[in-house]
Amino acid sequence: MASRRTINTWLPRHRVVLGFAAIGILILAIVASNFAIGSRPAAVMPAAGSNSENPAAPEDMSSPADRPPRALYVFFLIGDGMGIAQIQAAQAYLARAHQSTGIPAQPYPPTDPKVCPLAMTRLPVCGLQTTYAADRFITDSASAGTALACGIKARDGVISKKLDGSDAVTIAELAKDQGMKVGIITSASIDHATPAVFYAHEDSRNNHYNIGVQLANSDFDFFGGGGFLRPAGAGGAEPHVLDIAQANGFTVARGATQLAAVSPGTRTIAIDPFLDDSQALYYDIDRVDDPETLTLAEYTAEAIRLLDNPHGFFMMIEGGKIDWACHANDARTAIDETLAFDKAVAEALAFYEQHPDDTLIVVTGDHETGGLSIGWAGTRYNSFWSVLENQTVSWFAFAPIFDAYKAATPWAGVDDDMDQALKDIVLRCFGLNYATLTAFEQRKLEAAYDRSRNGEPLVSAEEDYLLHGSRDAFTVTITHILNQKAGLGWTSYSHTGV
Query: How many whole angstroms separate alpha carbon 349 and alpha carbon 150?
Result: 25
What would the mean pLDDT of 92-114 be, rounded to a whole number?
A: 68
Which phi and psi (to 5°) does residue 362 adopt?
-125, 125
Kindly report, residue by residue over 30-39, the tens digit of the pLDDT: 444 555 433 3
Give residue limits of the domains in the chain: 18-369, 373-496
Specify the pLDDT at position 498.
87
Asked whether the predicted pLDDT for residue 95 surpasses 50, the reply is: yes
Query: How many whole angstroms separate alpha carbon 360 and alpha carbon 422?
Result: 50
Query: How many whole angstroms separate alpha carbon 419 and alpha carbon 33?
Result: 65
What would the mean pLDDT of 376-383 be, rounded to a whole number?
A: 96
Q: What percentage of the chain has pLDDT greater than the value 90?
A: 77
Query: How many whole angstroms separate alpha carbon 205 and alpha carbon 190?
Result: 12
**What Å distances lie between residue 370 and 115, 139, 324, 348, 367, CA to CA?**
22, 13, 9, 28, 10
Query: How many whole angstroms separate alpha carbon 308 and alpha carbon 238?
Result: 35
What would the mean pLDDT of 367-388 be, rounded to a whole number?
A: 97
Specify the pLDDT at position 458.
60
Q: Which CATH superfamily is domain 18-369 in?
A: Alkaline Phosphatase, subunit A (3.40.720.10)
> Three-state secondary structure along the chain?
CCECCCCCCCCCCCCCCEECCCHHHHHHHHHHHHCCCCCCCCCCCCCECECCCCCCCCCCCCCHHHCCCCCCEEEEEEECCCCHHHHHHHHHHHHHHHHHHCCCCCCCCCCECCECCCCHHHCCEECCCECCCCCCCCCCHHHHHHHHHHCCCCCCCCECECCCCCECCCHHHHHHHCCCEEEEEECCCCCCHHHHHHHCCECCCCCHHHHHHHHHCCCCCEEEECCCCCCCCCCCCCCCHHHHHHHCCCEEEECHHHHHCCCCCCCEEEECCCECCCCCECCHHHCCCCCCCCCHHHHHHHHHHHHCCCCCEEEEEEECHHHHHHHCCCHHHHHHHHHHHHHHHHHHHHHHHHCCCCEEEEEEECCEECCCEECCHHHCCCCCHHHHHHCCCCHHHHHHHHHHHHHHCCCCCCCCCCCHHHHHHHHHHHCCCHHHCCHHHHHHHHHHHHHHHHCCCCCCHHHHHHHHCCCCHHHHHHHHHHHHHHCEECCCCCEECC
**What Å distances lie between residue 165 and 1, 2, 154, 368, 413, CA to CA?**
19, 17, 10, 27, 54
Asked whether the predicted pLDDT for residue 189 surpasses 90, the reply is: yes
Q: What confidence tier does 45 reach under pLDDT thresholds 50, 70, 90? A: very low
Asked whether the predicted pLDDT for residue 373 surpasses 90, the reply is: yes
CA angle 21, 26, 32 (to 5 degrees): 170
Are 342 and 19 spatial neighbours (Cβ–Cβ below 8 Å)? no
Kindly report, residue by residue over 286-315, the tens digit of the pLDDT: 999 999 999 999 999 999 999 999 999 999
Kindly report, residue by residue over 214-246, the tens digit of the pLDDT: 999 999 999 999 999 999 999 999 999 999 999
Sheet of strand 73-79, all strands in order from the earlier edge strand to the far edge: 125-126, 18-19, 359-365, 73-79, 313-319, 181-186, 222-225, 268-271, 251-254
